[in-house]
Chain A
Amino acid sequence: MSDIKSNGGFRVGVQKFGTFLSGMVMPNISAFIAWGLITAFFIPTGWTPQLGAPVEDGGLNFLALVGPMIVNLLPLLIANTGGRLVYGARGGVVATIATMGVIVGTTIPMFMGAMIIGPLAAWIMKKVDAIWAGRIKPGFEMLVDNFSAGIVGGGLSLIAFLGMSPILTAISDTLGKGVEWLVSTGFLPAASILIEPAKVLFLNNAINHGVLTPLGTEASVETGKSILFLLEANPGPGLGILAAFALFGVGLSKASAPGAIIIHFLGGIHEVYFPYILMKPALILAAIAGGATGVATNMIFGSGLRAPASPGSIVAVLIQTASDSYIGVILSVVLSATVSFLVAGVIIRATRSRDIATDENGDLSSAIAQSASNKGK
């Protein structure tokens, strides 16, 4: 019992930290989508570049939105959400002010900076407030609150500007170089060995939005696209596994797989395929093989997405696909689904006779049995 408990404690800890990271980014995904769409339409290589052109060239100058949105809007939103997680609306404001320092102090979009400075600034504000909590003379609360937050926020933005910008630029460069190295040496598909199991343990958002979205967006500004957006969000591996269940599964898990395919592949809610892997853990091999195939495909074609695809639906993926990347991205989804389908098919068939004999698939089978009986089948 204590074993299970400490195990669960570790898992809860990892999940919590991951949620904290993704929790700063996910509520703001719509802003990433807005930026991705504006970019897709109005950059010179976009869908309607004539509207993006300056007014004197007969356009509406919409291109002007692209830079400030990515450099200012997105990191500030992340900082605000991060600060809010730590110390409410007040924390959010101080976090946003402080993050302005790193944004102005660097030339690259400061997602990492926002994710570090934002919560840190809010935490400092919380500690500063605690110094005189309960000692302010009645009637002076607003004066003290406003000026303490203004002074702390302003001061932190100066510190961030001078002290943190070079450090964060260096970290960001190192991470970017690390990814480039993984791509150039061909090791990037190996990332699936970590990503796929972590996904199934409900660290999917933590990995995708806590790590890959910020890194990918920084890369996307420079090159117009990033492969990183597809490392976790590619719906191919899950599709292959569910399809294998739909064809080779035993009665009950088989029956629910087609519905799960629709929710997963079109709705983009990957969580629906996790239970299928959790009940037959060997299938993680199928997910890893499929995921690595997808990454390798995009690496070979040099394809990527402009902005994060969230949720990881094929619709979102195609909308965010960079104009020069349709072949690579579509192939990566198709091939990863094919590979995971084949591997999952072998695994499911190998254990099939046992599954039929016991007809025991845990909660899933009882779940399906239950819902089938409810439908009066």
Chain B
Amino acid sequence: MSEELTQHVVFACDAGMGSSAMGASLLRNKLKAAGITDVKVTNAAIANLTGAEELIISHSRLTDRAKHMVPDAEHFSVDNFMASPKYDEVVALLQSQRK
């Protein structure tokens, strides 16, 4: 795991409007609950990823595409947008960076 602090998490989906917006809201709430305030969570369409993202969350069916767009980012795949253990893994990762 890298030593650098991840400051920005991007939730990516096909259109960048629906499920990613919901996932980003959920993650934002979880981060807030965990007391992490210096991480920005945004959502985007996979086609609009810039290549500079550090940490990307996407549905497992779309992760291949996200990886293709941004090979260097750390990728997390979720199977269920509403309740995935991956959110907690991301929160735990961000927490561990900040200890």
- A198-215 vs B, CB cutoff 8 Å, 1 = contact: the mask equals 000110111000000000
Within 8 A of B (CB), among A237-282: 256, 259-260, 263, 267-272, 275, 278-279
Partner of A374, one of B14, B59, B88: B88
Q: Judge if B85 is at the interface, Cβ distance under 8 Å.
A: yes
Q: Report yes or no: B64 in contact with A11, Cβ–Cβ below 8 A.
A: yes
> How far apart sit A367 and B83, CA to CA, in the bound complex (Å)?
6
Q: Which residues of B contact A (CB under 8 A)?
A: 13-15, 17-19, 22, 45-47, 59-62, 64-65, 68, 78-85, 88
- Alpha-carbon distance A220/B71, docked complex (angstroms): 43
Asked whether, in the complex, the Cβ of A12 is within 8 Å of the Cβ of B18, the reply is no
Residue among A26, A269, A363 making CB contact with B79, cutoff 8 Å: A363
Max chain A CB contacts within 10 Å: which of B15, B22, B85? B15
- Distance between Cα atoms of A371 and B91 in the complex (Å): 13
> In this assembly, does A311 line the interface, its C-beta being within 8 Å of a C-beta of chain B?
yes
8 contacts between A and B (CB under 8 A): A19-B14, A19-B46, A202-B14, A263-B82, A272-B19, A278-B79, A311-B18, A362-B79
Q: Of A8, A19, A202, A279, which is within 8 A of B59 by CB?
A: A202
Whether B61 pairs with A201 at a CB distance below 8 angstroms is yes
B13 smallest CB distance to A (angstroms): 7
Using known A-B contacts A15-B14, A202-B62, determine if residue A23 contacts B47 with beta carbons closer than 8 Å.
Answer: yes
Interface residues in chain A, defined as those with a beta carbon under 8 Å from any beta carbon in chain B? 8, 11-12, 15-16, 19-20, 22-23, 26, 85, 201-202, 204-206, 256, 259-260, 263, 267-272, 275, 278-279, 311, 362-364, 366-368, 370-371, 374
Given A12-B65, A367-B85, A371-B85, 19 other A-B contacts at CB below 8 A? Answer: A12-B68, A16-B65, A19-B14, A19-B15, A19-B45, A23-B15, A256-B82, A259-B82, A260-B82, A271-B18, A271-B19, A275-B80, A362-B79, A363-B78, A363-B79, A367-B79, A368-B80, A368-B83, A370-B88
**Docked complex Cα distance between A106 and B17 (Å):** 33
A367 lies within 8 A of B80 (CB): yes
Interchain CB contact under 8 A, B22 and A269: yes
B13 near A271 with CB under 8 A, answer yes
Tell me, in angstroms, the Cα distance from A370 to B65 when the chains sit together. Answer: 27
Which residues on the B side are within 8 Å of A267 (C-beta)?
Answer: 22
Cα(A311)–Cα(B18), bound, Å? 8
Q: How far is the CA of A278 from the CA of B59 in the complex (A)?
A: 12
In the complex, A16 Cα to B81 Cα: how many Å? 21
B64 smallest CB distance to A (angstroms): 5
Instruction: Let me know if B15 and A15 touch, CB within 8 A.
Output: no
Contacts of A311 in B (CB 8 A): 17-18
Smallest CB-CB separation from B17: which chain A residue?
A26
Q: Which residues of B contact A278 (CB under 8 A)?
A: 61, 79
Report the minimum CB–CB distance from B77 to chain A (whole Å): 9
